[in-house]
Amino acid sequence: MRGPGIFLAQFLGDAAPFNSFAAIARWAGELGYRGVQVPTNDPGIFDLEKAATSQTYCDEIKGIAKDAGVAITELSTHLQGQLVAVHPAFDTLFDGFAPEKLRGNPAARQQWAVAQLKLAARASQNLGLNAHVSFTGALAWPYLYPWPQRPAGLVETAFAELGKRWTPILDAFDDAGVDLCYEIHPGEDAHDGASFERFLESTGNHRRCAINYDPSHFLLQQLDYLSFIDIYHTRIKAFHVKDAEFNPDGRQGVYGGYEPWLRRAGRFRSLGDGQVDFSGIFSRLATHDYQGWAVLEWECCLKSPEAGAREGAPFIESHMIERTGKAFDDFAAGSVDGTQIAKLLGL
């Protein structure tokens, strides 16, 4: 495992050091991060189209990161990935994720999103990356709760269409030698293990269809996020280190989404302030020899982003496990003796 890394999306702003890639990379390095996960929706920070077509630009970006003491962990197309599949109920709300000229035109917006993902595949290849993070988007999400009763075939049709849209994109990532890691997230059709399995099947079990593991979303769903690692570890190729807490009471449970974040039963917290068992998570990932980055995603309803970022690097560092190359009782081992072994077994 590599780290600590930090996802830059929630920290970008108009004021220094959050308004340029060089400045925010240097800020992250000074805080003790060794990697930065880079959003691709702001050309002023990172020009996705240029990165897909210019090796010189990518070499420059890598040089800026190196000078700041960090590496690029992955590129992110969360916002563009969301637009690959949008249910009409969310058209207006998600229009803000697309360029202004495409708003009000769902078909053009979707074509643009697909093109963005294919650019991201080439850009990731040019940067020498082996993983990318995104969202699946959603067609069936409004029908998550089966009331009124869903007509037979609705879910199956939604996932078939989702797979049809994503398979050519996954092929582009395969050509680039990059895993496409979907964040399993409420609001996406792939929001838990069972729905990810549906999505994976819809892509023909595509070898580049992977998972960006984020336990915070699983805790809020009351899903066993440790067993999730055991089940899907071969597909987990990216890791968002994010904390959360779930405090149900007589008024709220998992569906308390109409309340503001501060008053919800389930809410995101800065690392160490929530209920996620990170010792268990890092142990499970180490057990399964996870090779990717551990990347802080800061989202907290109480603590400032600057405080969360300062505390995040040492928190991740303290949980990372250096794998042992020996058994703890090797000191008591004797030499291998075939005759002795046969005697011990009565052979």
CB 206 within 8 A of CB 167: yes
Q: For residue 205, what are the contacts with CB-CB under 8 A and spacing of at least 6?
A: none
Nearest alpha carbon to residue 83 among 50, 113, 49, 55: 113
Cα R_g (the chain), whole angstroms: 22
- Strands 243-246 and 266-269 turn out to be antiparallel
C-alpha angle 168-156-164 in degrees, rounded to nearest 5 = 10
The CA distance from 82 to 204, in Å, is 21
The CA distance from 208 to 235, in Å, is 9
Q: What pLDDT, on a 0 to 100 scale, did the predictor assign at position 335?
A: 79
The CA distance from 140 to 190, in Å, is 10
pLDDT tens per residue, range 132-146: 999 999 999 999 999
Q: Where are the beta strands (DSSP E) in the chain?
A: 2-7, 35-39, 71-77, 131-134, 179-183, 209-213, 236-241, 243-246, 266-269, 293-296
The domain made up of 2-344 has a fold known as TIM Barrel (3.20.20)
Q: What pLDDT, on a 0 to 100 scale, did the predictor assign at position 323?
A: 81
The CA distance from 279 to 242, in Å, is 13
Q: What pLDDT, on a 0 to 100 scale, did the predictor assign at position 324?
A: 77
Q: What pLDDT, on a 0 to 100 scale, did the predictor assign at position 204?
A: 98
pLDDT in tens for each of the 347 residues of the chain? Answer: 999 999 999 999 999 999 999 999 999 999 999 999 999 999 999 999 999 999 999 999 999 999 999 999 999 999 999 999 999 999 999 999 999 999 999 999 999 999 999 999 999 999 999 999 999 999 999 999 999 999 999 999 999 999 999 999 999 999 999 999 999 999 999 999 999 999 999 999 999 999 999 999 999 999 999 999 999 999 999 999 999 999 999 999 999 889 999 999 999 999 999 999 999 999 999 999 999 999 999 999 999 999 999 999 999 999 999 887 777 777 667 778 889 889 989 99
Q: For residue 108, what are the contacts with CB-CB under 8 A and spacing of at least 6?
A: 102
Structure tokens at 344: 């011990």
What are the structural domain ranges in the chain? Answer: 2-344
Nearest alpha carbon to residue 71 among 133, 6, 9, 10: 6
pLDDT tens per residue, range 273-331: 999 999 999 999 999 999 999 999 999 999 999 999 999 999 999 999 988 777 777 76
The CA distance from 184 to 149, in Å, is 25
* Residue 242 backbone class (left: φ over 0; alpha: ψ -120 to 50; beta: rest): beta
| Cα within 13 Å of Cα(190), Cβ side | 31
